[in-house]
Structure 1
Amino acid sequence: MTTGSRSIAPARGGGGVRAGILTILPLLLLLVLALGSIALGARSVELGTALDAVGAFLAGDGKAASAASVDAAAVIDRIPRVLTAVLVGAALAVSGLAMQGATRNPLGDPGLLGLGAGASLAMALGLWAGLTGSLAVVMLLAVVGTLGAAVVVYAAAAAATRLSTGTTGAPGPLSLVLAGAAVSAGAMAVVSALIVAVPVVQDRFRYWSIGTVARTSFGDAAGLSWVIVLGILAVLIAAPGLDALALGDEMAHGLGARPERLRAVLLGATVLMTAAATALAGPVGFVGLMVPHVLRRMRPPGTRVLVVASALWGACLVLAADLAGRLVIAPREIHIGVTTVLLGVPLLLVLLRRRSMAL
């Protein structure tokens, strides 16, 4: 498959080794990061004590363990955080991969194309209207905001392409990025106006506006995990069609694919996963841009391997970003919404420079 000028078609030779590096290695890394995340922080805990506390939590004795030991209480409080980081990272990475394939846009990213800003606007409006009393309502607001932003961005980019070229073709990558930036700016301007005008929005939105996995309960993470898992499964099932989409709609039809249906599945899964991740952690950018681009350079032996690898490495990235943010300036924290931007902006500048040189 091609995305822009880069191919992600199955590579010949050494496919088993690459598949192992792309899937088994991140599984091991994820285990190490998870253990580090539950044991380290403002209050560090010995690994044996941490494992005992996790065992008590899984056995349903978490409350008793928390009451008996301060160290156990610290570990059990971190378990929802670890689960949330894993879910958010996997959802955003696979969302970026699906969006890049569906739009044939190598710069596709839920945050970069304004989806996070749309969810933020919906959340601010919900706070203003007093509609954010439950996780289900938050998820619904995030879905509505994400979907609305996706429609507006695509329509604006298509209109700009039509005015500049006189054709009605699909908008190009840079048009989508510019439209996403414009929609993000407009949405955040409305959010800022609501924050200034309505004190209750200011008080509650500021805790949600910076991406973090620190405020989610285990019930919230478990409740939305099925949405993220279903979204990843949908992309995994549709993965072989990404190769056909990369060749263009006419060629895809000739190969027996149904581009419209396939694109609807991919974009629908993207909206659901992005909304779930945003509901859990707030707006977190650049994960969907960074992970697929790095993995494509390793020439994955198959598109489904790339989907699985994106989920695993995305989980590792967010979990590592959260752990680093807790350790660098402990006992204070740097939220993942900040650390992922610090990593993502240089990569975006490099990608834009390469594309401008190729034009």
Structure 2
Amino acid sequence: MNSSLDSKNNQLNLHKPRNITAVLVVCLVLLVICVFVSLVFGSRPVRLNELIDGLFHPGVDSFGANVVRKRISRTIFGLFCGAALGVSGALMQAVTRNPIADPSILGVNTGASLFVVCGIAFLNISTANQYIWLALAGAAITAVFVFGIGSMGRGGATPLKLILAGAATSAALSSLITAIMISRTYVMDQFRFWQVGSVGSATWNSIATFAPFLTIGILIAIISAPALNALALGDEMASGLGVRTGVLRLVAAFAAVLLCGAATALAGPIGFIGLLSAHTIRLMLGPDLRFVIPLSAISGAIILTVSDVIGRLIGNPGELEVGVVTAFIGAPLLIILAMRMKVRSL
């Protein structure tokens, strides 16, 4: 089967891109720069000596060093969330064969949010471990529901039908969230900061909780990438190459929901990262998911970290939540992509 997949990849020009090394180096350099910027800039910029003290001199108890230590956990958590959402978006686009699929567009984030709200309101949950399992359940149920609705009728799960199904589902679930919160002030107070999407409340405990989900999800995604390339040829062709399309979709969707649900549970519903990162990498390297998936993780981490820093600088002396910043960046891109797809269909 592997030789068949490799030969078909060659026919589709899915060989190793010539510029892969250059793109990887650029992405890694940008990632290092983003980490540096995230540690230095915020409501209170730190000097170089304070950065060194915060990173390498734990005995120093100055204000600047403590600010840096606080930003370390925030930066790592932002990198993890960005990587998870970037890979989740790439997987959703591959599974649905929809170039503008994204957890926020398909309503998966909203489903996770609904379950978290229900947990806060009816089960009195308050910890990251409790959030994460409820968010995963909500994300999974919503993903299955949206794909089922979008698959009904002639033509199956077309991009337009999936977007409409996701938008309608998201609107309905948002109404339920509002209905639950409106009569429960304590739920609204606890939920409203989480709802906009933020990495500002990151702790080492939340990073440790998130790390296993991130590792498992990305490993499944990377292992599934060659078969997902075959799936792009169509179900019949992929089956002829020995790919069990039903199992593949289930496994890849599980990884996407695992990554998206875990990130949403701990950081809130941050949108458009998957859309932005996957499209950026495809523009540079082409459609081969063996390269798109790992580099979407790096680009997703870069985009979310940059957005977080922008939010801190714009909102100074407070901060603008990262979910708001990514929405401002991602919404125009979604409109442009949707217009291009409409033009092609005409």
Scaled by the length of structure 2, what TM-score is found? 0.93
Other-structure match for 2:278? 292
- Larger deviation: 42-51 or 91-100? 42-51
Match for residue 119 of structure 1 among 101, 112, 123:
112
Shift, 1:10, TM fit:
4.6
Query: Counterpart amino acid of 1:357?
Result: V
Other-structure match for 2:6? none
CA distance in 2, matches of 1:83, 1:315: 9
Gaps of 5+ in 2: 1-10
Other-structure match for 2:50? 49
Q: 1:233-257 deviations in whole A, cap 9, x for unaligned? A: 1101110111110111111011111
Question: Given that residues 116 and 265 in structure 2 are in contact (C-alpha distance below 8 angstroms), is that contact kept between their aligned partners in structure 1?
Answer: no
In the alignment, is residue 193 of structure 1 matched against residue 172 of structure 2? no
Match for residue 318 of structure 2 among 332, 337, 340:
332
Question: Given that residues 131 and 266 in structure 2 are in contact (C-alpha distance below 8 angstroms), is that contact kept between their aligned partners in structure 1?
Answer: no
Question: Given that residues 23 and 308 in structure 1 are in contact (C-alpha distance below 8 angstroms), is that contact kept between their aligned partners in structure 2?
Answer: no
Matches within 5 A, 1:1-359: 10=13, 15-16=17-18, 18-56=19-57, 61=58, 64-65=59-60, 68-159=61-152, 162=153, 165=154, 170-300=156-286, 302-359=288-345
Question: Given that residues 20 and 285 in structure 2 are in contact (C-alpha distance below 8 angstroms), is that contact kept between their aligned partners in structure 1?
Answer: no
CA distance in 1, matches of 2:157, 2:195: 30
Relative to structure 1, is the Cα distance of residues 276 and 151 closer, same or farther in structure 2, using a 3 angstrom cutoff? same
Question: Given that residues 43 and 319 in structure 2 are in contact (C-alpha distance below 8 angstroms), is that contact kept between their aligned partners in structure 1?
Answer: no
Shift, 1:192, TM fit:
0.7
**Runs of 4+ in structure 1 displaced over 4 angstroms?**
8-13
Q: 1:51-86 deviations in whole A, cap 9, x for unaligned? A: 331224xxxx4xx54xx2111111111111101110
Relative to structure 1, is the Cα distance of residues 301 and 289 closer, same or farther in structure 2, using a 3 angstrom cutoff? closer
CA distance in 2, matches of 1:337, 1:208: 10
Could you say what the CA RMSD is over the residues aligned between the two structures, in angstroms?
1.7
Gaps of 5+ in 1: 1-7
Question: Given that residues 11 and 299 in structure 1 are in contact (C-alpha distance below 8 angstroms), is that contact kept between their aligned partners in structure 2?
Answer: no
Question: Given that residues 79 and 218 in structure 1 are in contact (C-alpha distance below 8 angstroms), is that contact kept between their aligned partners in structure 2?
Answer: no
Give the SS at the match of 1:297. Answer: helix
Scaled by the length of structure 1, what TM-score is found? 0.89
Q: 1:297-334 deviations in whole A, cap 9, x for unaligned? A: 11348432211110001100000000111112311211
CA distance in 2, matches of 1:9, 1:229: 30
Q: 1:1-53 deviations in whole A, cap 9, x for unaligned? A: xxxxxxx955568x34x212332211111111111111111111112321331
Shift, 1:205, TM fit:
0.7
Give the SS at the match of 2:20. Answer: helix
Relative to structure 1, is the Cα distance of residues 72 and 236 closer, same or farther in structure 2, using a 3 angstrom cutoff? same
Question: Given that residues 10 and 299 in structure 1 are in contact (C-alpha distance below 8 angstroms), is that contact kept between their aligned partners in structure 2?
Answer: no
Aligned residues: 335
CA distance in 2, matches of 1:42, 1:217: 19
Shift, 1:131, TM fit:
3.7
Question: Given that residues 157 and 176 in structure 1 are in contact (C-alpha distance below 8 angstroms), is that contact kept between their aligned partners in structure 2?
Answer: yes
Tell me the percent identity. Answer: 37
CA distance in 2, matches of 1:50, 1:316: 20
Give the SS at the match of 2:202. Answer: coil
Query: Counterpart amino acid of 1:33?
Result: C
Query: Counterpart amino acid of 1:100?
Result: Q
Question: Given that residues 131 and 137 in structure 1 are in contact (C-alpha distance below 8 angstroms), is that contact kept between their aligned partners in structure 2?
Answer: no
Q: 1:83-133 deviations in whole A, cap 9, x for unaligned? A: 111011111111011111111111210110000100111111111113423
Shift, 1:170, TM fit:
2.8
